[in-house]
Amino acid sequence: MSTLILFLPSARPGPATEYSYTLTADGHTALRHATAPAALLPEPTRPGGEVVAVVPARALSWQRVQLPPGLPLGAGQQTPRLRSVLEGLLEDRVLDDAAQLHFAIEPGAHAGAPVWVAVCDRAWLREHLQALEAAGRRVARVVPEFAPGPTPSGRPELCALGTPEDACVVLTGQGADLGVAVLPLSSMAMALARAGTVAGTGPDEEDDAPLVRAEPAVAALAEQTLGQRATLHTASQRALEAARGDWDLAQFELASTGRTRALRKAGSVASALLHAPQWRAARWGAVLLVVAHLVGLNAWAWKERQTLAAKQTAVRTLLTQTFPKVQVVVDAPLQMERELAQLRQAAGSVSPRDLEPLLAAAGTALPAGRQPTTIEYSPGELRLRGVALAPDEEPALSARLQAAGYRAQLDDGSLLLRAEGTP
């Protein structure tokens, strides 16, 4: 999906506040990365694109709690009762008043099991979202810059951020719970990361060493302090990775409606199928499948046209061979019927559409003692007026006439007979 990803500044929003942003068309490649005030931020490049706000690692606190069993969770069940439970569980763990903080529960959380809760300043987050909405950039999702859980490398990772004067390191995949910790850029962070490696591996081995990434501004400082080579990792790359995560911090009073979430999810899935690199093979497969179906349908239609043309040619050939005087074939079945009618007339024979066969069929099918008061005849059609039938006699009459090759229609004491094939 076309996405505008914003980093929320750590200060409260004001007239001069600028947002660092990344614009992407597929969620994997950055088209543009810059900084601009809210009113000058670009819009997503495709209809249905979304705006994603990233909460910096320093603005979040991560808490591990166990919710009481039976407590309803989920996007549509974030009730005041659930918030009250979280306030009670976190009251002694946070420095600020719990009532002034914003809470967000990890995706797929289950009551009765330990869950991660993201905590940040509620007023700060709300003011930034309101400022962006006032500028016409309504935020669809709020995601953390770093989140707990397994890392791509499968071992603890360190990411150095900031400037040389104010540098920090974010440790992810730490400990048994795979948590997130923000620490000063020091050798102590590397010691914690090495302590979190999987038991039984050699932490001194290069393959088991924690992965170190750093912003360009602090890359040299990170290598010197941590004693390990660091891979450059820009803010734009972090923004793309954060936006692809499952987290959405817009919960409780900041949550979107169920309909909005469903539409957003459907749009994200559709955009990913159309543009994401990992779906490229599936898109090519779908195109090839459509092309194969089109080719098959055209081949089948061509074969059917050939078969129909062969049948039409056979009918015309039969007409011209049977009646050599017919030189021009316009409607072979109709012309053949006319020629046969002329032959019968010349031989003095009758056809099922003549008066005598129609009267004979009617006389055979009508119940005994039923006589019409009026007889009307036109070629291929006979109408007998004054014929009254009981309801149980009509099906039998129709069946007898149909067996003789005629269709019957009863209408208010009138019986209409037509030879099969007569319109």
Q: Tell me, what's the pLDDT at 417?
A: 80
| CA distance linking residue 123 with residue 100, whole number of Å | 7
- Structural domain boundaries of the chain? 1-146+245-275, 148-233, 284-346, 355-419
Q: Tell me, what's the pLDDT at 323?
A: 83
| CA distance linking residue 200 with residue 96, whole number of Å | 40
pTM of the full predicted structure? 0.61
Q: CA 368: distance to chain centroid? A: 70
Tens digits of residue pLDDT in 163-182: 999 999 999 998 888 999 99
Other beta carbons within 10 Å of 104:
26
Tens digits of residue pLDDT in 33-92: 999 999 999 987 665 678 999 999 999 999 999 888 878 776 666 778 888 999 999 988
Compare 423 and 7 and report the one with higher pLDDT.
7
Quickly name the fold that domain 355-419 has: Gyrase A; domain 2 (3.30.1360)
Other beta carbons within 10 Å of 136:
11
Tens digits of residue pLDDT in 362-375: 888 888 777 788 88
The yes-or-no answer to whether 1-146+245-275 and 355-419 have a common fold is no
Q: Which residues of 302-313 are buried (b: 16+ CB within 10 A; e: fewer)?
A: eeeeeeeeeeee
DSSP string, 254-313: GPPPHHHHHHHHHHHHHHHHHH-GGGHHHHHHHHHHHHHHHHHHHHHHHHHHHHHHHHHH
Which two structure tokens, joined as six digits, stand for 18?
A: 């600028």
Quickly name the fold that domain 1-146+245-275 has: Nucleotidyltransferase; domain 5 (3.30.420)
At residue 226, does pLDDT exceed 80?
A: yes
Mean pLDDT in residue range 191-219: 71
At residue 161, does pLDDT exceed 80?
A: yes
Tens digits of residue pLDDT in 263-293: 555 555 566 566 667 677 888 888 889 999 9
